[in-house]
Chains A and B, each alone.
Chain A
Amino acid sequence: MAERLPAAVAQSARRAGPGLPGGLWRLELRAALARRRALAIKLLFPLVLALPLALTGAPQFFAAMLLTVLIAMVGTVGTGVSLTRSRGAGWLDRLAVLPLAPWRVGLEVFLASWLLDCLQATLMILVLELAQRADPLTVVSTWLLALGTLAFSGALGLAVATLTDNAGEAMLLLAVVLAPMLFLSGLFTGVPAVGPRYWVAQLLPFSYLQNGFQLVLHGNPPDGAPGQFLWAAGVFLLVGGAAAAALGRPLLARGA
């Protein structure tokens, strides 16, 4: 048996000290940041799509649609697939028997995933801004709206992870859930001015974000203003966080 601990270990052991339970989100986030190659690919992948759209003068409606789909996919797939993998590896089993409230587990794993997704979206929007030189208020409000959309999508990914046991199944279910939402948000056809589809689109973040991206790309969306985007961003952030906390229990219950 070793008699002395290396100084770094001893120091770190002291650092743990008494404190609030948890720190799961930090652990998950640090793990994701430590996967250098995966992180580089994750950060580059939205840019590969955003750059040509920003630089080639693609029609704003379609360019905004693609960027919105990208944000939706980033949010849902990132959370849904990584959680399904965690379950497969037995990590969720381990978390389930710790003295941590299920809502806290849900919220913390969601938070870690969301922060990474935010990094992706921020880079992408920064590149768009550099290429398009849009009005700063529009860019900031669209950026915040993207973060709100990521929260909503992340919670959707978490919901899917409560129903699936492997990454492939999760991807398929995400596509099945997300496609109708994107259609109802008017991404492919626009939103009718009246009727049920109009109201459904108001309840989902994707139509707002598409309008925001259109503004950033100097288009003329039929609806939307920075003030409205800020309000929507706040609502969808809260909805995403609350849903993630509520989904903690079913997330841990699966595979019990």
Chain B
Amino acid sequence: MPTPVLLAEAVSRRYRNGRGVGPVSLRVEGGEVLALVGPNGSGKTTLVRCLGTRSPHQSGELLWFGKPDPRRARGRLGVVFDATAHVDELSGEENLQFFARVRGGASTEPLLRDAELTEVAGEPISSYSYGMRRRLLLAEALLGDPELLILDEPTLGLDVVGRRWLADTLAERRRRGLVAVVSTNDTEFVEAVATRVGFLIDGLLVQDAPLHQLLASVGGLREIHLSCRAGVDADLLRRVAGVERVAEVEGGFTVLATRRDGLLADVLACIGELDRKLVDLSVREPGLADCFLRLTGRSLDG
């Protein structure tokens, strides 16, 4: 059995208020991209900070490349947390150069070009938009071809082009053996890059399965998103035949149902007084967010 790139056995880090993560066990091997998905406060960031060698775990065992030594692992790791801290007075290129030097003189040219920062490379970071800072942050993590990439909310602030660049880069590097752990609620991005998905709820990994398997589990289902004013009873919606889950989200409900024919009419009838109560309605094929809802009973929106 090959040594996993990342192995967590009952890893736990809890704060005094009980929040945090663990015990969590996971195993990530070569060529895998594991996405950690969960609502706010589910422990994603705490777990990613432990996996990214930033925060020590309180119990359990955490091995990077088969060794429990975070200091030795850092030379083979690329890490991105939510903060976009740079030396703002200096240029993007100068910042990147610093990280390149730390990584043993890695080449910065291709990354500047691929992240579409070449034109602004000589300008101070203080003049960068948030999206540009995020792209630079990701480029810095990719310097020196890390073997393991730990990314917390990597698509935050990225535009469509930036997201595509990141997805393509991860796919291309994965083919060369890169392993990545990505914490995000951007399910569209997860569906584009992940090979495995872990669902976190209240600091516990409640599901850990291949992406295709999870998506197959919601095949044939239908998702209805209702935006409505007050006065709609969730329990009535739950009693509609074929409705499997109803999650209350901001300004409405997400309904996940197995039945297709006649479903919409039944749901609308259940709401009643549509002119007064219903603001918007959308129906779509289910994806990872619906899978999360179906398996955990909780919505990723909160």
Contact = CB atoms under 8 A, between A and B. Distances in A.
A39 B105 CA distance: 31
A18 interface: yes
A22 B102 contact: yes
B52 interface: yes
B105 A96 contact: no
Nearest to A96: B54
B53 A97 contact: yes
B49 to A, nearest CB: 8
B90 A27 contact: yes
B114 A1 contact: yes
Interface in A1-54: 1-3, 5-6, 8-10, 12-13, 15-24, 27-28, 30-31, 34-35
Contacts, number: 117
Interface in A141-167: none
Interface stretch (A87-95, A174-182, A217-225, A228-236): A87-95
Nearest to B111: A13
Interface stretch (B15-23, B92-100, B180-188, B208-216): B92-100
A174 to B, nearest CB: 23
B54 A93 contact: yes
A97 B77 contact: yes
Contact of B87 (A2, A31, A98, A256): A31
Contact of A16 (B56, B84, B101): B101
B80 to A, nearest CB: 9
Given A9-B121, A13-B109, A90 B101 contact: no
B100 A16 contact: yes
B65 interface: no
Contacts of B88: 31
B244 interface: no
A13 B107 contact: yes
Contact of B75 (A2, A3, A99): A99
A100 interface: yes
Interface string A53-92: 0000000000000000000000000000000001001110
Given A1-B114, A90-B81, A91-B85, A31 B90 contact: yes
B97 A5 contact: no
B251 interface: no
Contacts of A10: 109
A94 B85 contact: yes
Nearest to A86: B85
B104 interface: yes
9 contacts: A1-B116, A17-B105, A19-B105, A27-B90, A31-B88, A31-B90, A91-B86, A99-B71, A101-B71
